[in-house]
C-alpha cells in the first residue's frame, strides 16, 4: 500500500536526501515537506523532486500547531518522518534557546497533532511517527569503551544533545502512554551531498577550494563514526516499513575515524581530484584551533539490532563515501557559494580561533 508522508525538515541535509530516496523508491507515495527554511534549510535541495505530481512543499514551522493540524488532515497523512531540528553543537553553545524551542517544543507539537489525527482515524496500526535523532544523546566514550547500544543510558553534554534527548524522551513517552506508533532512530555523524558548510566535511571541502585554513579542534584526535547519508536513508526506509513501534534503532556507519585523520584523507582526495587548488598540498591549510567547550571525545554506534532484526547494514566505506562527497562539492560550486553569506562569515570567525 502507498503511504502519505509528512517530512519535517525536508529541505535540510538529511531530510532532502531522504526525500530524494523516497520519491525514487516509491513514486506512487505522496510526499509533503514542511520546512521553515531557516539558515540550513534550502529550497534548492529539493530541485530534483520539484514538479512531481505526488510532491508538495510547504514553508512553515513545526511549532505552528494549526498548520500541522491542517496538513495532517487535508493531506490525510499516515506517516511523519521527523527530521526538523537545530542540529549544530557549536551553534547550540552560542544560542541554546532555539534548540529547546525547535527540538523539544516542536517535537511535542508534532506528537500532539499526530496523536489527535491518529485517534480521529480510529488508531490505524499502519500509521508511523519516525523520530530521527542522534548518537550524541549517549554522551562521550573512552577509547576502550563499548559502542553505544539502544540501552546505553543517556548522558548528553551539549545544549544540542540535551534538547535531542528531551525530544527522544517525549517520543518514547507518547508510545508508552498513548500507544502512538512511534519509532526512534539514533544515528552517527552523517556526511554527503547538500550538507550546510558549517559541518566538518563540507567546511573542509569548501575551505580547501578557496584556500582558507582548515580548522581542527584541539588535538584533532576526537573520534566519530561516519555514516554516508545514502546508507542512512536506506536504513530509515527499512525502519518505516519493517520497524516495530515503540522500538529504538541505532544506525551507524562502522567507520570510526579520528577527526585529524579524516581531514588528512580529505586533503589527499582534494589534491587528487581538484586541479586548481589555491594551496597544494591541501594539508598545508590544516590549522589547530581552540577546542570546543565540552567536546565529546568519542562516539561509536553498535548497529547490531537493526542488522539482526531488520536486515540493514551500511554499504559505503569512508573512502568511497568521502570520494563521492568531495566530487559533489567540486561540481556544485553554484550550490555552496551563495551560502557563504555575511551572517555565515560572522558565525565562522566567532566560532574558530587559532590556538
> Could you list the active site residues?
135-136, 160
Q: C-alpha grid cell for residue 231?
A: 546508507
d(CA 146, CA 136): 15
What one-character DSSP code corresponds to residue 178?
H
Partners of 257 in beta bridges? 224
Partners of 175 in beta bridges? none
d(CA 53, CA 46): 14
Grid coordinates 558548510 are at which residue? 197
Q: C-alpha grid cell for residue 113?
A: 497533532
> 74: exposed, middle or buried (C-beta count within 10 Å: 0-12, 13-18, 19+)?
exposed
Strand spans (E) along 75-127:
79-82
Q: Tell me the longest C-alpha to C-alpha distance in the chain.
A: 63
Cα–Cα nearest to 150, from 309, 314, 305, 313: 305
Do the beta carbons of residue 43 and residue 118 sit within 8 Å?
no
Partners of 30 in beta bridges? 4
DSSP-derived 3-state class of residue 353: coil
Amino acid at each position: 500500500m502507498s503511504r502519505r508522508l509528512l517530512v519535517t525538515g525536508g529541505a535540510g541535509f538529511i531530510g532532502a536526501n531522504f526525500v530524494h530516496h523516497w520519491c525514487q523508491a516509491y513514486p506512487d507515495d505522496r510526499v509533503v515537506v514542511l520546512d521553515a527554511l531557516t539558515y540550513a534549510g534550502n529550497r534548492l535541495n529539493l530541485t530534483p523532486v520539484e514538479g512531481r505530481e505526488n510532491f508538495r512543499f510547504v514553508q512553515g514551522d513545526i511549532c505552528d500547531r494549526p498548520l500541522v493540524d491542517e496538513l495532517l488532515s487535508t493531506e490525510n497523512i499516515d506517516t511523519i518522518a521527523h527530521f526538523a531540528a537545530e542540529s549544530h553543537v557549536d551553534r547550540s553553545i552560542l544560542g541554546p534557546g532555539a534548540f529547546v524551542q525547535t527540538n523539544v517544543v516542536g517535537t511535542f507539537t508534532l506528537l500532539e497533532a499526530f496523536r489527535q489525527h491518529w485517534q480521529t482515524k480510529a488508531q490505524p496500526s499502519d500509521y508511523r511517527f519516525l523520530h530521527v535523532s542522534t548518537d550524541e544523546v549517549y554522551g562521550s566514550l573512552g577509547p576502550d569503551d563499548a559502542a553505544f547500544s539502544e540501552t546505553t543510558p543517556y548522558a548528553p553534554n551539549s545544549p544540542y544533545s540535551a534538547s535531542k534527548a528531551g525530544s527522544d524522551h517525549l517520543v518514547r513517552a507518547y508510545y508508552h502512554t498513548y500507544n502512538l506508533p512511534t519509532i526512534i532512530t539514533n544515528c552517527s555523524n552523517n556526511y554527503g551531498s547538500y550538507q550546510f558548510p558549517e559541518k566538518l566535511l563540507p567546511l573542509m571541502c569548501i575551505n580547501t577550494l578557496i584556500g582558507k585554513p582548515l580548522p581542527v579542534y584541539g588535538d584533532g584526535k576526537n573520534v566519530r563514526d561516519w555514516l554516508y547519508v545514502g546508507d542512512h536513508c536506506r536504513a530509515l526506509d527499512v525502519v518505516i516499513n519493517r520497524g516495530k513501534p515503540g522500538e529504538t534503532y541505532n544506525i551507524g556507519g562502522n567507520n570510526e575515524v579520528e577527526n585529524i585523520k579524516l581531514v588528512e584523507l580529505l586533503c589527499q582526495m582534494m589534491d587528487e581530484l581538484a586541479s586548481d587548488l589555491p594551496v597544494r598540498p591541501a594539508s598545508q591549510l590544516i590549522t589547530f584551533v581552540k577546542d570546543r567547550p565540552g567536546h565529546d571525545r568519542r562516539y561509536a554506534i553498535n548497529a547490531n539490532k537493526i542488522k539482526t532484526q531488520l536486515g540493514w547494514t551500511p554499504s559505503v566505506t569512508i573512502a568511497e563515501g568521502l570520494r563521492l562527497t568531495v566530487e559533489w562539492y567540486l561540481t556544485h560550486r553554484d550550490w555552496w557559494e551563495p551560502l557563504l553569506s555575511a551572517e555565515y562569515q560572522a558565525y565562522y570567525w566567532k566560532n574558530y580561533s587559532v590556538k
